Amino acid sequence: MKSANRFVQLMHRYGFWAALLLVMMLVFQSLAGAFDGAETAVVIPAPVNDEAPTASHSETAIFAGGCFWGVQGVFQHVKGVTNAVSGYAGGTAQTANYDTVSGGNTGHAESVQVTFDPQKVSYGQLLQIYFSVAHNPTELNRQGPDSGTQYRSAIFPLTESQQQVAEAYIAQLNGSKRFAKPLVTRIENKAHFYPAETYHQNFLNDNPDYPYIVINDLPKIKQLQQLFPQQYRSDPVLVN
């Protein structure tokens, strides 16, 4: 019954034939071991400019980088992160629900609100993980199999300091030529965050054998562990 429920959710998200195709891809992967649908992480330098040290033990950031299942899963495995909530940012409260956002006309992006302890991990370090592992910042209005403005690459700074660090880092990365194409990440101000439905929270952790997760998101967790071993935590911090 649990597997059937997962297939129904996948079918609701992508349609019957797309869901069936993903299941077939998973079977092929398990048999041949040759399919990898995830983006390859890019090794990038740390930001030259980061936020100034603070006495605070709690700060919040909002990132959008494709389907929030994988982005949330990545940040849940970062030391110093105390919460990572999937949700919507960029639109209004009236349209902040999955079915409406999926239409691509709400202004919302699937996003993750990250609460972190800046004494343990800085905003700049989170940005480095976001650009390197969590998503591909050179894809315009899409990530992997998902397309539409709701899957755009976007940062929603909550302070002037966050905006300055994000803008400087994007310029630094474009200048470094580490990516094959220019970054398309947007910096969007004054956005409100709205938590997503309960069934979207902790989705990667709760559904590790889900075809979409296996193909697109579990490789990101492995890449996080490989590229950022000092920041990686094996036990994810989950939404209660």
CA-nearest of 150, 145, 151, 89 to 114 is 89
Nearest Cα neighbor of 61 from 191, 169, 192, 162 is 162
Q: Is the pLDDT of residue 52 over 70?
A: yes
- Provide DSSP, the chain: -HHHHHHHHHHHHH-HHHHHHHHHHHHHHHHHS----SPPP---PPPSS-PPP-S-S-EEEEEEES-HHHHHHHHHTBTTEEEEEEEEESS-GGG-SHHHHTTS-SS-EEEEEEEE-TTTS-HHHHHHHIIIII--TTSTTEETTEESGGG-EEE--SSHHHHHHHHHHHHHHHHHT-SSS----EE--S--EEEPPGGGTTHHHH-TT-HHIIIIIHHHHHHHHHH-TTTB-SS-----
Domains of the chain, earliest start first? 1-35 (no CATH), 37-227 (3.30.1060.10)
Instruction: Specify the pLDDT at position 39.
Output: 78
pLDDT of 202 > 90? The answer is yes
Q: Is the pLDDT of residue 29 over 50?
A: no
Range in 7-11, 33-37, 67-71, 149-153 the model is least confident about: 33-37
User: Is residue 24's pLDDT more than 80?
Assistant: no
Q: Is the pLDDT of residue 118 over 60?
A: yes
Q: CA-CA distance, 98 to 198, in Å (whole number)?
A: 11
Q: What is the mean pLDDT of residues 205-221?
A: 98
Calculate what percentage of the chain has a pLDDT beyond 70: 84
Return the CA Rg of the chain: 17
Q: What percent of the chain has pLDDT over 90?
A: 82
Asked if residue 123 lies in contact with residue 129, where contact means CB atoms within 8 angstroms, the answer is no
Average pLDDT over residues 135-143: 98
Model confidence, pTM: 0.86
Would you state the pLDDT for residue 144?
Answer: 93
Q: What is the pLDDT of residue 207?
A: 98
pLDDT > 70? residue 70: yes
Read off the tokens for 64.
Answer: 């959008």
Hey, how many other C-beta atoms are within 10 angstroms of the C-beta on 133? 28
- Read off the pLDDT of each residue in 105-125 and give the average, rounded to a whole number: 98
Q: Decide if 215 contacts 68 (C-beta within 8 A).
A: no
Question: Which residues participate in catalysis according to the annotation?
Answer: 67
Residue type, 233: R
Select from 158, 109, 116, 161 the least CA-distant residue to 135: 109
**Residue 133, pLDDT score:** 98
Q: Which two tokens stand for residue 140?
A: 């315009």
User: Residues 203-212: what's their mean pLDDT?
Assistant: 98
